[in-house]
Chain A
Amino acid sequence: MSDKKTKGIWKVISASSMGTMIEWYDFYIFGSLAVVLSTKFFPTDNPTAAFLSTLATFAAGFVVRPFGALFFGRLGDLIGRKYTFMVTLMLMGGATFAIGCIPSYETIGFAAPVLVLILRLLQGLALGGEYGGAATYVAEHAPKDQKGYWTSWIQTTATVGLFISLMVILVTKTLLSKEAFDDWGWRVPFWVSILMVYVSYLIRKNMDESPVFAKAKQEGKTATNPLKESFGNKYNLKFVLLALFGATMGQGVVWYTGQFYAMNFLKTVQNIDSSQVDMLLGIALILGTPFFVVFGWLSDKIGRKSIMMTGMLLAIFLYRPIYRTMYETTDVKNKIVLKADENVPTGVDEKKGEAYFVTTTEYKDGTIVQKSFTTQIGVGEINKESIKTTVTINNTDRWILILLVFIQVLFVTMVYGPIAAFLVEMFPVKIRYTSMSLPYHVGNGIFGGLLPAISTYFVTNAKDNGNPEFYLEGLWYPIGIAALCFVIGMIYIDRKINTLHD
């Protein structure tokens, strides 16, 4: 490729990727702040209920994504890629900023969760329209035999967006006191979004329309009804279904297990200090992100299918050993107690009539476990049930966990790195935006997005039933979906599928 051409495509990549990365950032700060948001916007009587409500809202953000894919995909196939993903960017930025401005449940009552839900739905719609547009736009600029490499840059944006969301939260937490962050500081990451969106808007404004789409439009070859042509036509629908059941469904669950379920597991099952989790996840993501490009590039050489299917197979067989090892790092049954300060008073809440205590246990390997307890003033008996447990891990365990999360991110890069090129190549130009967006967002948004809620249910259920390995039960959902997808993908996807529209 000539220098001029390479320079041109880098411009396209950077402008597209930045906008998409910001959309992912906007989308993920909500998930990353789920615990704080649950206390601000949902009734606090029952923390589990509040947390599950947030997860449900989270799912709502995902469930609506396929509708965004249909709505904006149709627009993108009718009027063009460029204008459509400008609209999605503005919609996402506006909704994110507005979430950061909503008064809490304590101030405005039920209007607060309702407004959050509406804005979350708008975020989901915007994201549903953005990704397909960006992937299509980049692929339509890339040379035929390098689509995997160039679109893999777009694939890095989801992880980079998650990483930046974690870093912005971490920096905000570091700069503010714990009280200030809980009080108003959690809003800062939402407000930061509007600045990033504005910069991205300025960059995208000057981009040209995709050359392939512009040519089709000039020749009058664009679709008149992209939805009907995509899903009302058996020839296209069979590929939409194959893309979903043979690729994106498995890719979606591997993606969410590696990045979100891992985070939830570390925070809520292992009870590791939230800042430590953000840091170790951040390091694993930095180390893993370049592999999106490596596997995207490799998919141009050896084919997309073999890489994606290998990633899925490894995930299916290694998830349980990985999560068992993760759990063992904080399992105090295997640790020797060094010292314990029991029931140290930490404060009194006169309004609630409650007194608080904390028991700190230090273990020989450097692990520290703090358990908070509460009691009614005057009753004297401290509740035996801990209201909160926080585990501070030692350096060795931190690196073990980084390695284990990194391995999961590697699976993510294998299934996700080549998938944009894979989907783009499956469908013709005139219905590409619509046709590729839907299976992608059903696979990721619905199969992947529901993973935290479904897996949490399996874990809770197993725990209530006294299953000693309850913490592994949540993995059956991603393992089952990925296994079904692997079999379908291996049998039905062949090389010819990706050369149908050359």
Chain B
Amino acid sequence: MNTLKKYLGIVWIAVAFAIGFYTIQIFGSKLTSDKQEDLVFGIIVFFILLPMIVTGLTIFGWYAITNEYKD
């Protein structure tokens, strides 16, 4: 189980970057939208939700790789 926890750390970091990439692809246009509601939505997604997922999941993955979650 400890080995699985450790190596899955790489997966979490990869997932963090994949989420970042696809969020930019799907919602990227919102940040340049003329519509006010789209812009607000884009700001919330890009400046609050995305940083939280990407940085949080990356640190989580790194802790897993460095055996912080070892039993």
Query: Which residues of chain A come closer than 8 Å to B56, judged between CB atoms?
Result: 241, 244-245
A491 touches B37 (CB 8 A): no
- Which residues of chain B come closer than 8 Å to A442, judged between CB atoms? 52
| Given A241-B59, A244-B56, A491-B8, residue A496 in contact with residue B71 (CB < 8 A) | yes
CA distance A242 to B9 in the complex (A): 12
Determine the residue in chain B with the shortest Cβ distance to A494.
Answer: B71
> Which of B8, B40, B57, B68 interacts with A238 by CB under 8 Å?
B68
B65: Cβ under 8 A from any A Cβ? no
The smallest beta-carbon distance between A251 and chain B, in angstroms, is 16
Cα(A237)–Cα(B69), bound, Å: 12
Nearest CB of B to A126, in Å: 19
Report the Cα distance A450→B42, complex, angstroms.
12
CB distance from A134 to the nearest CB of B (A): 25
List, in ascending order, chain A residues with CB within 8 A of B59's CB.
Answer: 237, 241
Give chain A residues whose Cβ lies under 8 Å from the Cβ of B48. 63, 446
Q: Name the residue of chain A whose CB is nearest to the CB of B43.
A: A56
Q: How far is the CA of A446 from the CA of B59 in the complex (A)?
A: 19
Check: A9 CB closer than 8 A to any chain B CB: no
Are B64 and A56 in contact, CB atoms less than 8 angstroms apart?
A: no
Name the residue on A nearest B35 (C-beta).
A49
B41 near A457 with CB under 8 A, answer yes
The answer to whether A234 touches B36, judged by C-beta atoms less than 8 angstroms apart, is no
What is the predominant secondary structure among interface residues of chain B facing chain A? helix
Q: Which of B12, B15, B37, B49 contacts A53 (CB 8 A)?
A: B37
The answer on a CB contact under 8 Å between B5 and A491 is yes
Per-residue CB proximity of A229-270 to B under 8 Å, as 1/0?
Answer: 000001001100110110000000000000000000000000
Q: How far is the CB of A284 from chain B (nearest CB, A)?
A: 29
B31: Cβ under 8 A from any A Cβ? no
- On whether the beta carbons of A453 and B60 are closer than 8 Å, the reply is no
Chain B residues with Cβ below 8 Å from A450 are 44-45, 49
Question: A457 to B60, alpha carbons, bound, how many Å?
Answer: 29
Check if A56 sits within 8 Å of B63, measured CB to CB: no
Q: Which residues of A contact B5 (CB under 8 A)?
A: 491-492
Chain B residue with Cβ nearest A480 = B19
The docked-state distance in angstroms from the alpha carbon of A192 to that of B60 is 44
CA distance in complex: A446, B56 (Å)? 13
- Residues in B with CB closer than 8 Å to A245 are 56-57, 60
Is A298 interfacial (CB 8 A cutoff)?
Answer: no
Alpha-carbon gap, A496 to B44, bound state (A)? 36
A-B contact count (CB 8 A): 56
Query: Which residues of chain A from 433 to 447 have any CB-CB distance to chain B below 8 Å in the complex?
Result: 442, 446-447
Residue of B nearest to A439 (CB): B56
- A46's nearest neighbour on chain B, judged by CB, is B37
Shortest beta-carbon distance from B70 to chain A in Å? 10
Q: Which residue of A lies closest to B4 (CB)?
A: A491
- Flag if A52 contacts B69 (CB, 8 Å): no
Contact A238 B63 (CB under 8 A): yes
B63's partner among A49, A241, A244, A446 (CB-CB below 8 A) is A241
B68 to chain A, nearest CB (A): 5
Asked if A446 and B40 sit within 8 Å, CB to CB, the answer is: no
B-contact 0/1 string along A453-497, CB 8 Å cutoff: 110010000000000000000000000000010001001101010
Q: Which of A238, A446, A496 has the most CB of B within 10 A?
A: A238
User: What residues on B are CB-neighbors of A401 within 8 Å?
Assistant: none
B11-62 residues at the A interface, CB under 8 angstroms: 12, 15, 35-37, 40-41, 44-45, 48-49, 52, 56-57, 59-60
A369 at the interface (CB under 8 A from B): no
Of B15, B35, B41, B69, the residue contacting A492 (CB under 8 A) is: B69
Asked if A52 and B63 make an inter-chain contact with CB atoms under 8 angstroms apart, the answer reads no
| A63→B44 contact, CB < 8 A | yes
Closest to B15 in A: A484
A244 vs B49: C-alpha distance when bound (angstroms):
13
Q: A residues within 8 A CB of B40?
A: 53, 56
Across the two chains, which residue of chain B brings its CB closest to A234? B68
Residues of B within 8 Å of A56, CB to CB, are 37, 40-41, 44
Give, as a whole number of angstroms, the nearest-CB distance from A42 to chain B. 10
- A241 — nearest CB in chain B belongs to which residue? B60
Tell me, in angstroms, the Cα distance from A59 to B48 when the chains sit together.
11
Q: Which residues of A contact B1 (CB under 8 A)?
A: 491
Q: Do residues A453 and B44 form an inter-chain contact, with CB atoms below 8 A?
A: yes
- Which residues of A line the B interface, CB within 8 A? 49, 52-53, 56, 59, 63, 234, 237-238, 241-242, 244-245, 442, 446-447, 450, 453-454, 457, 484, 488, 491-492, 494, 496
| Interface CB pairs A-B, < 8 A, 25 | A49-B35, A49-B37, A52-B37, A56-B44, A59-B44, A63-B48, A234-B68, A238-B63, A241-B56, A241-B59, A241-B63, A242-B69, A245-B56, A245-B57, A442-B52, A446-B48, A446-B52, A450-B49, A453-B41, A491-B1, A491-B8, A492-B5, A492-B64, A492-B69, A496-B71
The 7 closest A-B pairs by CB, nearest first: A52-B37, A56-B40, A241-B60, A238-B68, A238-B63, A492-B69, A49-B37
